[in-house]
Structure 1
Amino acid sequence: MDLSYEESCDSMANYIQEIRALVGHKPLLLNTAAGILVNDQQQVLLNLRTDTHDWSLPGGYLEYGETFAEACVREYREDSGVDVEIVAPIGLFDRGETVYPNGDVTQTISRLFLVRAVGGHVLDEATDETVRLDYFDFDNLPPLMNQQTADMLAAAAEFIKK
């Protein structure tokens, strides 16, 4: 049975809520995927998150049965409004944790991809996950969500230089 976008988001939110009801704020190990999209000025697109009010890469949690690449494409569209395709894998990042404002703690295993825009457009209004989006120079980044995001951006900058 294929779920609509809204049903899929509700299903994932319910899944995490169900786990949190069982474990409270104890740390969880979760899988995520994110993408690096650069413009003609070699700036990276970042999103200002509604939950932490810090900047991060468009991306998010894998849904059950989904691959890292599939999650990257889906989450990129959800977070930014841009349809992307995978160009190349950049790396796997598994260090550090995030403490959310509500007390939830996660360690994420994040797969990072270089992506190319193939449709859609950068959202020009806030959503339930994104306050706004903007392009930044790799050497002049805003306050980031966590050290893992900083590590991914550093790896992407090196990858792009090659």
Structure 2
Amino acid sequence: MENWQGSAGVCVNTKGQVLMVLQGLPEEKKAWTIPSGGKEDNETFEECCIREIREETGYDTRIIQPLFSKKSVIYGINVEVQYFEVEITGGEAKIQDPDNLIHKIAWKSANEISKLELSFPEDREFLIQTIR
């Protein structure tokens, strides 16, 4: 069975909002998620997280701590995503995604997250709890 590995970065600002991106292929319905993506060759999960956030949002970040690993099987592929708590160290909101999947960057409150169309609905409660 094929394996896919990636990372996701959870960044909460001083206003209690999570950094999120609106993503999807041009022909797809768009949905919100935290910045995330697949590991490249010889890249660590931490390096992947930092790179994906920079590509998708324009922000430079540093890892504060690992949070958890989410493992599942999707379409017959073993998927592992490492989640990290991160903080912004520089940069500015700017989409520079080489895959052209990102359409908006925004900070979302717990109330907003409770109502958003999410790419990964199973993350909703975790994200809300992270803010509170």
Q: TM-score range by the shorter chain?
A: 0.7 to 0.9
Amino acid at match of 2:4: L
Residue 105 of structure 2, aligned match among 128, 133, 153: 133
* Aligned residue among 23, 36, 61 for 1:59: 36
Report the identity percentage. 26
Equivalence map 1:1-162=2 (5 Å):
28-51=2-25, 52=28, 53-95=30-72, 97=74, 107-123=78-94, 127=97, 128-141=100-113, 142-147=116-121, 150-151=122-123, 153-159=124-130, 161=132
Unaligned runs of 5+ in 1: 1-26, 100-104
Conserved in 2, the CA contact under 8 Å of 1:33 and 1:69? yes
Instruction: Give TM-score scaled by structure 1 length.
Output: 0.67
Higher RCO (Cα < 8 Å, 6 or more apart): 2
CA distance in 2 between partners of 1:154 and 1:39 (Å): 18
Return the letter of the residue paired with 2:70: F
* Partners of 2:58 and 2:93 within 8 A in 1: yes
**Contact persistence 2:12–2:131 (CA under 8 A):** no
Greater percentage in strand? 2
> Is the 2:57–2:96 Cα contact (8 Å) retained in structure 1?
no
Structure 1 residue ranges, 4+ long, deviating more than 4 angstroms after superposition: none
Give CA deviations for 1:71-121 in whole Å, capped at 9, x if unaligned: 000111001100000001111011363x7xxxxx75521100110001111
Normalized per residue, which structure has more helix? 1
Conserved 8 A contact 1:46-1:57: yes
Secondary structure of the corresponding residue to residue 51 of structure 2: helix
Asked if the contact 2:19–2:106 (Cα under 8 Å) also holds between the matched residues in 1, the reply is yes
Q: Aligned pairs, how many?
A: 125
TM-score (norm 2): 0.80
Q: Aligned equivalents of 1:129 and 1:74: distance in 2?
A: 15
Change (3 A) 1:120 1:154: same
